Amino acid sequence: MRGKPGTNEKPKDFKKALKNLISYLKPYLTPLIIAIIFALVGSIFSIIGPDKIKEITNLIVSGLASSIALDKIKSIALFLIIIYSIGFVCSYLENFIMATITNRFSKKLRGEISEKINRLPLKYFDKTPYGDILSRVTNDVDTLSQTVNQSISTLVSSITLLIGSIFMMFHTNWILALTAIFSSLFGFFFMAIVLAKSQKYFETFQEEIGNLNGQVEETYTGHNIVKVYNGEEMEISEFDKINSKMFDSAMKAHFFSGLMSPFMSFIGNFSYVCVCVVGSALALNGTITFGVIIAFIIYARLFTQPLSQIAQVATNLQSAGAASERVFAFLQEEEMPDEANLVKHLDKSKVNGNIEFKHVKFGYDKDKTIIKDFSMQAKSGSKIAIVGPTGAGKTTLVNLLMKFYPIDDGDILIDGVSIKDLTRENIHDLFIMVLQDTWLFEGTIKENIVYNQENVAFERVKEVAKLVGLNHVIKSLSKGYDTILSDNESLSAGEKQLLTIARGMLKDAPFLILDEATSSVDTRTEELVQEAMDKLAEGRTSFIIAHRLSTIKNADLILVLNEGNVVEQGTHEELLKKNGFYANLYNSQFESINE
């Protein structure tokens, strides 16, 4: 399904997204504080170092005229080795703690997204490209975790270095301190302008990643169709269009953010020059010593370095803000109603199999009703066929019966119990569904048949495979039931359908839904699938949605839908005798076959 990119996006709120990110980090507050303390200690020791280097320089310069105090220099050097070693250990511990926190944070976030997917209503997936959802789970979460890992401790240490170096500069010499600060001051204004300008491009970039993933996922899922219809140029054009938007936003975002590093490097070098010029003048006047100039050159570096780091952190936070908007917008999507208060439960082993639709009304949009006033009774063990033109509401009835969508008005009863009083899990447990699109996962044949069923004996698996006529096919595969489905060991469309029927037979539920289950197979295979479905339908109340009317001749009741209403109902023979809507549908198919 190709949805409109971004149609599900909520209004952007950068500050709110960052607040959500901070709230998600609260459980890790203690290790975060410890990591911040280590970052602070490491930064403080870095600030202390230049002052000691100044002492060594002064001792060497003064010793050139007489004798160098080597013992004092050794003690200062030993002190520097100790504090820089402690700083190294603190830095390592801080990085280790932050890496642990971010990995746990991203794991938790992915887990919550996975749980959120299971709580979202079907309508969300109907309007959202799958690739966009995947992008939120992968790219956006990775962006967030990397930002948390790299930015928080860096921001703390940078601010500490900035404040500490300013304090030490004024403590050493106020004239050189003002020289270093004023030579770097307009870097702050430049950084603020760049941040304000580039934020919108980071947001657009994250959105276009999701759109690109959606387009790629759809194109390669239907790669054969694209080839058959020679749609390569159209899909490439669509890809190029999205890729160009992504390129444009990325270029602008990275252009502005990329200005920060070289500009701050220029500011740092300019600051060095100013400090050297002013410091030389002060040294010639005898106001300061040569060691003070050396110390200030290091302080100027310590002062401009955190500016560059803060600029980089700000860039990362922009990407994180855009990513967090998408992640938390997804986590805040409207969920299916909570059913914790529903206590009624139907045991599938005791269900009689009666279903009743009572004046059901429904529309996907409030202003457009699809099912207008639908009533019907299905008795236990009966076979109900639902036919009609495309858009008549056939699949919609199944969606309502399975509680994928809530009905607008009326009610649906299972053995006299309203589905409004039953949980979705309980309802799903009562039904077997065989759809037009067969869903298989990469695993063994046995695992695909047993899917989500517990304590199933292997003999039972072989028994249902034999019942649907699949056992001989499985035996012909390289490893039989242990064959892993892949490109090398693939099944035909009919064999895949038989496998899904075997899966349903193993579930052994009282109700069966067949939604266009034979529409994707050839006539010969259709006969095999039909036989398997007949076996599956034995003793079950069945709902069969079919376009091929020849497959539902033996139905106990045929409901003919048109524009959301039941226009005719009866058996196949009764409806043909009426020579009405159903007869026209049936005869048109028969004529097309003869032609």
- Take residue 221 and report the two structure tokens written for it: 């899922």
- 303 alpha carbon, distance to own chain's centre: 40
3-class state of residue 230 by DSSP: coil
Cβ atoms of 337 and 366 closer than 8 Å: no
pLDDT, residue 6, reads: 40
Spatial distance between the Cα atoms of 414 and 403, rounded to a whole number of angstroms: 12
Q: Cα angle vertex 115, ends 363, 447, to 5°?
A: 95
CATH class of 355-594: alpha beta
Question: According to DSSP H, which parts of 285-342 are helical?
Answer: 290-331
Spatial distance between the Cα atoms of 239 and 545, rounded to a whole number of angstroms: 36
64, pLDDT greater than 80: no
pLDDT, residue 39, reads: 76
Q: Where are the domains of the chain?
A: 14-331, 355-594
Average pLDDT for 486-512: 77
Q: How confident is the model at residue 199 (pLDDT cuts 50, 70, 90)?
A: low
Burial 468-496 (b: 16+ CB within 10 A, else e): bbbbebbeeeeeebebebeeeeebeebbb
Give just the sign of the alpha carbon dihedral 474, 479, 481, 487. negative
Average pLDDT for 30-48: 77
3-class state of residue 365 by DSSP: strand
Tens-place pLDDT, residues 334-360: 888 888 888 888 988 888 889 998 988
Spatial distance between the Cα atoms of 87 and 45, rounded to a whole number of angstroms: 6
Residue in the block written with tokens 């979460």: 141
**Cα-flanking dihedrals φ and ψ of residue 384, to 5°?**
-105, 120
12, pLDDT greater than 60: no
Tens-place pLDDT, residues 524-547: 666 666 777 777 778 888 888 876
Q: How confident is the model at residue 186 (pLDDT cuts 50, 70, 90)?
A: low
Amino acid at 86: I
Spatial distance between the Cα atoms of 516 and 131, rounded to a whole number of angstroms: 26
Q: Which residues contact 327 (CB under 8 A, 6 or more apart)?
A: 109, 113, 136, 140, 141, 144
- Take residue 535 and report the two structure tokens written for it: 């076996």
Closest CA to 190 of 265, 299, 269: 265
More confident call, 23 vs 363: 363
Q: Fill in the DSSP letter of residue 595.
A: -
pLDDT, residue 154, reads: 76
More confident call, 43 vs 280: 280
- Take residue 57 and report the two structure tokens written for it: 């320089």
Query: Of all residues in the chain, what percent carry a pLDDT higher than 90?
Result: 1
Average pLDDT for 351-373: 84
Give just the sign of the alpha carbon dihedral 492, 493, 496, 498. negative
Closest CA to 412 of 347, 352, 360, 470: 360
pLDDT, residue 592, reads: 47
Cβ atoms of 271 and 308 closer than 8 Å: no
Task: Output the 3-class SS for 131-164.
Answer: HHHHHHHHHHHHHHHHHHHHHHHHHHHHHHHHHH
Spatial distance between the Cα atoms of 170 and 193, rounded to a whole number of angstroms: 28
Is the backbone of residue 559 left (phi > 0), alpha (psi -120 to 50) or beta?
beta
pTM > 0.85: no
Q: Fill in the DSSP letter of residue 563.
A: T
- Take residue 81 and report the two structure tokens written for it: 């080795």
52, pLDDT greater than 70: no
pLDDT, residue 68, reads: 61
| In CATH, 14-331 is 3.20.20.450 | no
Cβ atoms of 1 and 126 closer than 8 Å: yes
- Take residue 6 and report the two structure tokens written for it: 């971004």
More confident call, 2 vs 187: 187
587, pLDDT greater than 50: yes
